[in-house]
Amino acid sequence: MKKLRLLLVLPVIFAFCLSGKTSEKSSKSKLKETTMINAPTTVDDIIKAMTLKFGTTDTAAISKAVKQVAALWTASDGNLDSLKSFCLANYAKPGADKKALFDRLSTNFEVLFGHFTKISLDLKVPLQLDNGEMIPVDDLFGAYDPYSHLTDDFFNNKIAFIVILNFPHYSLTEKEALGEKWPRLQWAYAKMGDVFTSRVPASILQNMSDALSASDTYIATYNVYMGKLVDSKMKTYFPADLKLITHWGLRDELKADYADADGLAKQKMIYEVMKRIISQEIPKEVIDKNDYQWDPITNKLYKDSKEVVGTPEKNIRYQYLLDNFKAGSAIDKYSPLMPTFIQRKFEGEMQLTQAEVEKLFISFLTSPTVKKVADLIALRLNRKLQPFDIWYDGFKSRSTISDAELTKAVRTKYPTIDVFAKDLPNILVKFGTPKEKASWICSKIDVDPSRGAGHASGADMKTDKAHLRTRFGKDGMDYKGYNIAVHEFGHTVEQTITLNDIDYYMLRSVPNTGYTEAMAFMFQQRDLELLGYKSDSLTKKANFALDNFWSVYEIMGVSLVDMGVWKWMYTNPNATADELKVATIKIAKDVWNKYYADIFGSKDEPILAIYSHMIEDPLYLSNYPVGHLVDFQVEKYMEGKSWWKEFDRILLSGSITPQQWMKNAVGKELSAQAMIDATNDALLVIKK
């Protein structure tokens, strides 16, 4: 999972009202003269003065810029006469003057953003890296946000106003309508206009950072010692030293167990663990501790095989979720154009509305193709589907290979983290990357041992490096860690290319998080090939379509739960953690009953509420299904072409709008129908 810093789009409108008074004793002519002299300056007056000074060809651009500056100009910045003087003095004429200003701003923003990102990442090292014990002060440093005062400082010194005046913000609608004809420099100008769109107080931004950091630490240290799980006969099913993080580790273990002789029993036990976490009945004594044995089916706790009384976690999970809501919604009053966290995450960050994303997901979830794929899975399993089969992994080549065999292969190849890091250039060469280019890319990537499941953190200046973080135990890297590491490697490769090779700094990265997830998926799905395992090329394409389809079916439901919970919190802003828990479980069951119950043959399953993203990364989950759709469309387009050349080419579109990026990449807009059609074709191939 990639952690991205995306600037909040939080416009704040400020109204001005100035009036002048005249003496009742003045004559009519004197009154008229005085009134004219003291007539309050208006925004229209400023636009007229600007047009007169700089010419009429840029009237629309000048009007747009001045109105946006005025919307954020407050009494502390001066009156409207001061605003007029500021605009006349700081507007750069289109052409060489504007380009020179743009270049200087880009250079300085790279310095600022680059160092702030590095500071933030470095301060989180004790929280995110498995390199020693954490102490309480680590949480305080990890929560510190170097960016929090940037907005205040740059509005106070008026640099923010200079940016807005010369590079006004374009709405998503405007970008989609105009962007297809924009040259690259105009796109870069438009992205510059996204930097300052609000004046959120630093204390509010810091509170948000504090809440996110606390929930991130909570999740990063939420492990279950699987060797301590027992059934009613005190039988254990997992290795004694197996420690899995929720939800990623539990889910990936469940996936791997399809190839295990005791797989079904293990999967049922994992599912019970998940349900106890969701309900918060899990004993606190078994969270990141291995002192007790625990039967998740009966929820009984044992010490030295003797039953003892445990302490339920209660509502801690939901309190963190609630804290994130309170911190996020505190920004609402500073964002009249997008007055909810939901709008800011979708329209501001994803550049897609929540309604259209939800509509896209529902159309997919209700496709008749879902039942066809489910029937095939049940046939392969030779049993009725269980709720946890939303994570069926049998369309991947590794589904016929045990996790133990894969882990052995990984640990043989990568006994230490340094060996893995040194092999990264070879991995890129296998993708078709020229050797010199592969070495250069990997020289800008550091590999770190993660406390959590793993993530990638990109740099924001060319002199810094991207960080690939994955779990690496004392016995070396296991298969789950390797699979995640390959995914995160995809992120860091994308981050390195779209920072260092892009034509304009303001166009670095990709359109949204879903798109960088797509790039990471493209690496991850080749993990077995990188280990030397080969698959049947005749069925590979069909299995690829089926695997993508089923993954999207699962994660879209989880995303709908995430959206539903945030809508509920906005409707119930004063709810308690206990009330939120009840509501979350109900929403999860409702989504299940609507889109999954008929397929799986069971109702009221809460499993869709297990995802850790809901707790530590608000409204992130929708990026995954979008990423899968992008991944699938791009992969189809790249068939028969040079994989690396196409991968490198499409990344250099940068962070333009999602649909324009897709047109540049594959010649078509983002579509779910392509995946559905290919899945129907794949079903015919598999049946043969």
pLDDT tens-digit profile of 100-122? Answer: 999 999 999 999 999 999 999 99
207: in domain: no
CA distances, 143 to each of 3, 130, 205, 334, 658 (Å): 15, 18, 11, 22, 31
- Would you tell me how many other CB atoms lie within 10 Å of the CB of residue 518? 26
Token couple for 56: 């009429």
At residue 227, the pLDDT reads 96
Task: Please indicate whether residue 202 or residue 190 has the higher confidence score (pLDDT).
Answer: 190
Residue 8 has pLDDT above 60, yes or no: no
Helix (H, G, I), strand (E, B) or coil at 446: strand
CA angle (178 as vertex; 174, 180 as ends), nearest 5:
130
17: in domain: no
Residue 55 backbone dihedrals phi, psi, to 5 degrees: 100, 165
Tally of residues, the chain: 688
Separation of alpha carbons 46 and 68, rounded Å: 12
At residue 24, the pLDDT reads 36
Strands 445-449 and 466-470, bridge-based pairing: parallel
- pLDDT band, residue 295 (cuts 50/70/90): very high
At residue 29, the pLDDT reads 39
Residue 198 has pLDDT above 70, yes or no: yes
At residue 536, the pLDDT reads 61
Separation of alpha carbons 193 and 423, rounded Å: 41
For the stretch 200-232, pLDDT in tens is 888 998 899 899 999 999 999 999 999 999 999
Strands 223-225 and 243-245, bridge-based pairing: antiparallel
The percent of residues above 90 in pLDDT, for the chain, comes to 72
373: in domain: yes
Residue 130 has pLDDT above 50, yes or no: yes
565-578 mean pLDDT: 98
Mean pLDDT of the chain: 90
332: in domain: no
- One domain, residues 95 and 153: yes
Separation of alpha carbons 59 and 95, rounded Å: 15
Separation of alpha carbons 543 and 685, rounded Å: 9
- pLDDT band, residue 139 (cuts 50/70/90): confident
Separation of alpha carbons 597 and 604, rounded Å: 8
286: in domain: yes
- One domain, residues 425 and 524: yes
CA distances, 364 to each of 605, 632, 684 (Å): 20, 15, 20
Separation of alpha carbons 189 and 454, rounded Å: 35
At residue 261, the pLDDT reads 82
**Pick from 419, 160, 242: nearest CA to 427:** 419
- pLDDT band, residue 12 (cuts 50/70/90): very low
Residues whose CB falls within 8 Å of the CB of residue 168, separated by 6 or more in sequence, listed in order: 61, 64, 65, 68, 193
DSSP 350: I
617-637 mean pLDDT: 92
- pLDDT band, residue 27 (cuts 50/70/90): very low
**Pick from 217, 219, 215, 239: nearest CA to 227:** 239
Asked whether the CA dihedral 257, 262, 264, 265 is positive or negative, the reply is negative
Separation of alpha carbons 178 and 488, rounded Å: 34
Helix (H, G, I), strand (E, B) or coil at 129: strand
For 220-244, letters b (16+ CB in 10 Å) and e give bebbbbbbbbbbeeeeebbeeebbb
Separation of alpha carbons 630 and 510, rounded Å: 12
- One domain, residues 163 and 293: no
- One domain, residues 469 and 558: no
Which range is least confidently modeled, 251-260, 425-434, 559-568, 601-610? 251-260
Task: Please indicate whether residue 534 or residue 23 has the higher confidence score (pLDDT).
Answer: 534
- pLDDT band, residue 541 (cuts 50/70/90): confident
- One domain, residues 592 and 608: yes
- One domain, residues 585 and 521: no
Residues whose CB falls within 8 Å of the CB of residue 193, separated by 6 or more in sequence, listed in order: 163, 164, 167, 168, 169, 170
- pLDDT band, residue 400 (cuts 50/70/90): low
CA distances, 516 to each of 458, 513, 647 (Å): 11, 5, 12
Separation of alpha carbons 369 and 380, rounded Å: 17
- One domain, residues 540 and 616: yes
16: in domain: no
Helix (H, G, I), strand (E, B) or coil at 240: coil
- One domain, residues 472 and 580: no
At residue 688, the pLDDT reads 56
**Pick from 447, 417, 474: nearest CA to 243:** 474
For the stretch 64-87, pLDDT in tens is 999 999 988 999 999 999 999 999
DSSP 345: I
Residue 514 backbone dihedrals phi, psi, to 5 degrees: -60, -35
CB of 287 closer than 8 Å to CB of 510: no
335-362 mean pLDDT: 88
286-315 mean pLDDT: 96
Q: Which residue has the tokens 């049993």?
A: 383
At residue 455, the pLDDT reads 85
CA distances, 27 to each of 22, 30, 33 (Å): 10, 5, 10
- One domain, residues 410 and 362: no
Residues whose CB falls within 8 Å of the CB of residue 186, separated by 6 or more in sequence, listed in order: none
At residue 36, the pLDDT reads 32
CB of 573 closer than 8 Å to CB of 353: no
Which of 148, 168, 199 finishes a domain?
199
**HEC readout, 138-200:** HHHHHHCCCCCCHHHHHHHCCHHHHHHHHCCCCCHHHHHHHHHHCCHHHHHHHHHCCCCCCCC
Helix (H, G, I), strand (E, B) or coil at 431: coil
- Would you tell me how many other CB atoms lie within 10 Å of the CB of residue 96? 9
Which range is least confidently modeled, 35-49, 220-234, 246-260, 295-309? 35-49
- The pTM (predicted TM-score) of the whole model is 0.79
At residue 377, the pLDDT reads 97
248: in domain: yes
Domain with 38 in it: 28-199
Helix (H, G, I), strand (E, B) or coil at 17: coil
2: in domain: no
- One domain, residues 73 and 107: yes
CA distances, 335 to each of 4, 347, 570 (Å): 21, 13, 15
Which of 170, 199, 228 finishes a domain?
199
The percent of residues above 70 in pLDDT, for the chain, comes to 92
Which of 531, 557, 584 finishes a domain?
531
Separation of alpha carbons 310 and 595, rounded Å: 36
Domain tally, the chain: 4
CB of 126 closer than 8 Å to CB of 120: no
256-269 mean pLDDT: 92
Strands 300-303 and 454-457, bridge-based pairing: unpaired
Quick one: how far is CA 339 from the chain centroid?
20
At residue 202, the pLDDT reads 84
- One domain, residues 295 and 442: no
- One domain, residues 484 and 560: no
- Would you tell me how many other CB atoms lie within 10 Å of the CB of residue 262? 12
Residues whose CB falls within 8 Å of the CB of residue 325, separated by 6 or more in sequence, listed in order: 341, 566, 569, 573, 618
